[in-house]
């Protein structure tokens, strides 16, 4: 590549990076000032985008694919734990996610708590998702929770 081509590529990368930062900041503002239904959709979008999946695929309740199940479990955990928690009861959240029973939400939360405790790679993924949303992962006694970044 010539010097001019390298400069052009650097400019394009910088523009793309700035566009991503602005998009993330816009999403954070929407999340912090919106109602619970908007936050739920924001969480779904962030998780699906992180894994490079469509929301329809990422939260397909019929799929037993590990990545898809991890997306669903992560969404349930984010919606019920810490400062990202939404004011829905377990049954309402289960219905929103397409589950039949609130027990699926309980299972999902327990599954993520176990993964956070014992699997470093899963902890890194969830930490990264929370950071995109403007939160941080915090160890609270024997469990993990999340809080808004200072």
Mean pLDDT of 96-121: 94
Tokens of 133: 């949303």
Q: Is residue 26 part of a domain?
A: no
Please name which of 100, 47, 39 lies closest in space to residue 73, comparing C-alpha atoms.
47
Q: Is residue 84 part of a domain?
A: yes
Domain hosting residue 46, numbered range = 34-148
Q: Is residue 21 part of a domain?
A: no
pLDDT tens, residue by residue, 21-57: 777 776 666 555 568 888 899 999 999 999 999 999 9
What is the tally of structural domains in the chain?
A: 1
The CATH number linked to 99 is 1.10.1750.10
Q: Is residue 49 part of a domain?
A: yes
Q: Is residue 141 part of a domain?
A: yes
Q: Is residue 105 part of a domain?
A: yes
End-to-end CA gap in the chain: 43
Mean pLDDT of 3-7: 88
pTM of the complete model: 0.77
Q: Is residue 76 part of a domain?
A: yes
């Amino acid at each position: 590549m010539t010097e001019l081509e390298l400069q052009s590529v650097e400019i394009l990368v910088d523009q793309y990076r700035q566009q991503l930062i602005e998009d993330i900041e816009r999403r954070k503002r929407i999340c912090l000032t919106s109602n619970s239904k908007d936050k739920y959709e924001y969480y779904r979008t962030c998780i699906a985008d992180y894994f490079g999946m469509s929301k329809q695929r990422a939260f397909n309740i019929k799929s037993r694919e590990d990545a898809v199940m991890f997306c669903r479990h992560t969404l349930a955990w984010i919606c019920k734990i810490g400062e990202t928690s939404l004011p829905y009861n377990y049954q309402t959240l289960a219905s929103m996610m397409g589950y039949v029973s609130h027990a699926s939400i309980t299972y999902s939360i327990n599954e993520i708590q176990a993964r956070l405790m014992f699997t470093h790679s899963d902890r890194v993924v969830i930490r990264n998702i929370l950071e995109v949303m403007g939160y941080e992962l915090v160890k609270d006694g024997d469990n993990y929770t999340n809080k808004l970044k200072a």
